[in-house]
Amino acid sequence: MFVLAHGQHLFSENSPPILTLDRSWDIPIFEPVGSIITRVKAFDQENDTLRFGLEMIDPNKKNPFVIDPETGVVKLKESLEKRGGEKFLMYVTVNDGHLTMKSEVFINIKNSNGNGTKDSSFNKSPRPGYYPPYLLPNHPIVQQQQPQPDIVSPPKIISTLEHVIPTKQKTEKNFITTVKQDEEDEETMTTTSPSPPPPFISTKINVTANSTNVSSNEIAYTIIPTAVVCGIIFSTVLVAFLFRRKLIKYRNKMQKDDLRKESHGGIILEDPIAMHHWRGPRAFSNRYEGWDSDRAPMNEDQNPPPIQNDRDIIKPGDKWEFPRHHLKVFNILGEGCFGQVWRCEALNIDGREGTTVVAVKTLKESAGEKERKDLLQELEVMKSLEPHPNIVRLLGCCTKKDPLFVIMEFVSLGKLQSYLRNSRAERCYGNMHGESKTLTSRDLTSFAYQCARGMEFLSNKGIIHRDLAARNILVNNDQVCKVADFGFARDIIGSHVYERKSEGRLPIRWMAPESLYDNIFSVKSDVWGFGVLIWEIVTLGSTPYPGLAAADVMRKVRDGYRLEKPEHCRRELYNIMYYCWDKDPKERPSFQELVTLLEQLLLSETDYIELDRFPDHSYYNMISLSGEKL
């Protein structure tokens, strides 16, 4: 555990020093006085003069060590002969003249007989070796308080029998047995533990002389019912386990059948039902023809297909409604399990005369009523938004009859995730300021800043995205990032919190702990996902938590594990990610604060992402095998 102590300062004025040391010291009881126990090392980014120190956590314990304040060499200053078996905690400190970092160390003084070995319950923290302070503009440093691990060790046992017991069995070497004569008929056995750390244990058992012989019938009456109950419990658990295993296999088979329907190779050979009306002469003509030219014309007063939800009913005078016969399809841009996005041309849309290239989102033939409602929900969210440079714009919709069309602006370079991965493959990066055709550190920092601005706009409108990731950010030719894909988005302006109750594929690697385990989503859970998005940008589109399965990610995130700092990323930028991953949602920064922090990085002349040090071997892209969203 690392603790940052003392002082207050603004963001980026002075970074804390970083300690490197062995946090578990096993020392023999006969270790000579003056011998070197360990060497503590520290690093400070500002190259300040560092001074080391030692602090006892328990003031009643005597410190047997001394540390050189300049070199960090820890030596034994007094004999440990009378302290065998002791285990205690202390702090190793380092101060750079501004801040003091503390690292907790476990000391285990071993007896000559081998007792006092390291407690297996003492494990190192799964977090990175440095827990950065929560630094925000005009905010003081909050000391990170973490509970100390309990030191539990088996006490030595001294047994005293106050009556002569006729036996020839030898006691174990860790027991001392004293036999005394007594005229009474009772035997008293007292067990105590002289070990200081655990609480004092005193147990007295009074046994009559006649109770030493237990009949075999009493043993049978006790063992047989116990065995029967255990057998019933074991059988029940076994049956439940086999049933659950069979159920999981059935669900996995159904999921695989659904995934087989998904196209992985681009355009599917069989046109979906949403595109059936684009067959025929339109493929060989540049004219805009009526959608139903080969059928009887549809009257304006004809009712659209029934919609179960009153909220989904489209009003007659909807300004967003666009005539579908003014659309002409070209090619598919992308698709998921139930939806597709097509590149089209629209005639006289968005107040412009002539044709405009647009992106049209629609449903696949395998989609059901739930997916239809989700698309209408996404449409309602986009209708409520004013134009913003970092949000994909809605241009119109076709909802009077099926298939539903959501018409959006066309963003030329596509997904940010693919854009970053393609730039990594080109192997031509530059760390220069100003215009450049290759990706620079400033470009990547700007991507994070623009995404923060878009999310600030959404959060101010009371909207949570719930699926913020590089795959849902689009980039145009001017390298402007736009937040897209509002299929998961919800309007929470009333309660500020949304509880998920439906099933579906989840972006596990981008989700906060409260979303993973409690199905609770808020603006602060979007902030968590934004921290993972910055990590994606820094690693040029790598999959978060590489090498871990989805279940392992969920467990490790719950236990406090966080994505490690990429070696080519500066501490200032990684700190911003780390603030977003606070376990307490209330302690995470707002998007307004994130915009301010990233803007400060953009205004400086420092390259916070050293692309020439990018380690290709350390990051890779994963293919989803468990149904999670990647």
Are 136 and 597 spatial neighbours (Cβ–Cβ below 8 Å)?
yes
DSSP string, 345-371: EEES-TT-SSEEEEEEEEE-TT--HHH
Angle, helices 591-603 vs 571-580, to 10°: value is 170
Q: What are phi and psi of 336, to 5 degrees?
A: -125, -155
Q: Say what the pLDDT of residue 111 is.
A: 83
Q: Say what the pLDDT of residue 549 is.
A: 92
Nearest Cα to Cα of residue 328 among 347, 341, 348 = 347
Beta carbons within 8 Å of 52's beta carbon, 6+ residues apart: 40, 42, 67, 68, 69, 70, 71, 72, 92, 93, 94
pLDDT at 442 over 90: yes
Mean pLDDT within 4-14: 51
Q: Say what the pLDDT of residue 193 is.
A: 41
Tokens of 291: 């959608």
Among 349-358, 440-449, 486-495, name the one with the lowest average pLDDT: 486-495
Q: Say what the pLDDT of residue 317 is.
A: 56
Residue 175, Cα to own-chain centre: how many angstroms?
49
Cα 5 to Cα 144, 268, 316, 579: the distances in Å are 9, 60, 64, 18
CA dist., res. 244 & res. 236, Å (int): 12
- What is the dihedral angle through the alpha carbons of 362, 367, 373, 375, rounded to the nearest 10 degrees? -20
At 537-579, the pLDDT tens digits run 999 999 999 989 999 999 999 999 999 999 999 999 999 999 9
Tokens of 324: 């579908």
Region label for 114, one of left (φ > 0), alpha (ψ between -120 and 50) or beta (otherwise): left
N- to C-terminal Cα distance for the chain?
32
Burial label, 303 (beta-carbon count in 10 A; 0-12, 13-18, 19+): exposed
Q: Determine if the peptide bond prior to 198 is cis (ω within 30°).
A: no
Burial label, 95 (beta-carbon count in 10 A; 0-12, 13-18, 19+): buried
- What is the dihedral angle through the alpha carbons of 436, 441, 446, 451, rounded to the nearest 10 degrees? 130
CA dist., res. 628 & res. 630, Å (int): 6
Mean pLDDT within 596-602: 95
At 219-255, the pLDDT tens digits run 777 888 888 999 999 999 999 999 988 888 888 777 6
Per DSSP, 569 falls in state: B
Element (H, E) at 238: helix 216-260
The reply, when asked if residue 583 is annotated as ligand binding, is no
Are 520 and 499 spatial neighbours (Cβ–Cβ below 8 Å)?
yes
pLDDT tier, 217 (very low <50, low <70, confident <90, very high otherwise): low
Q: Say what the pLDDT of residue 101 is.
A: 86
3-state secondary structure of 44: coil
Q: Say what the pLDDT of residue 292 is.
A: 39
- Write down all domains in the chain, each with its CATH number in brackets: 18-110 (2.60.40.60), 318-410 (3.30.200.20), 413-429+437-629 (1.10.510.10)
At 303-359, the pLDDT tens digits run 333 434 434 444 555 788 999 889 999 898 888 778 889 999 999 888 888 899 999
Question: Higher pLDDT residue, 410 or 490?
Answer: 410
| Residue 410, CB-side half-sphere exposure with 13 Å CA sphere | 17
3-state secondary structure 571-602: HHHHHHHHHHCCCCHHHCCCHHHHHHHHHHHH
Tokens of 119: 């407690």
At 351-369, the pLDDT tens digits run 888 899 999 999 888 888 8
CA dist., res. 21 & res. 594, Å (int): 33
Nearest Cα to Cα of residue 3 among 55, 66, 47 = 55
Instruction: List, in sequence order, every residue forming a beta bridge with 202; answer none if it has no partner.
Output: 192
At 447-485, the pLDDT tens digits run 999 999 999 999 998 888 888 999 999 999 999 999 998
Residues marked as catalytic = 467
What number of helices (H) and strands (E) belong to the chain?
Answer: 9, 25
Are 629 and 505 spatial neighbours (Cβ–Cβ below 8 Å)?
yes
Q: Average per-residue pLDDT in the chain?
A: 74
pLDDT tier, 155 (very low <50, low <70, confident <90, very high otherwise): very low
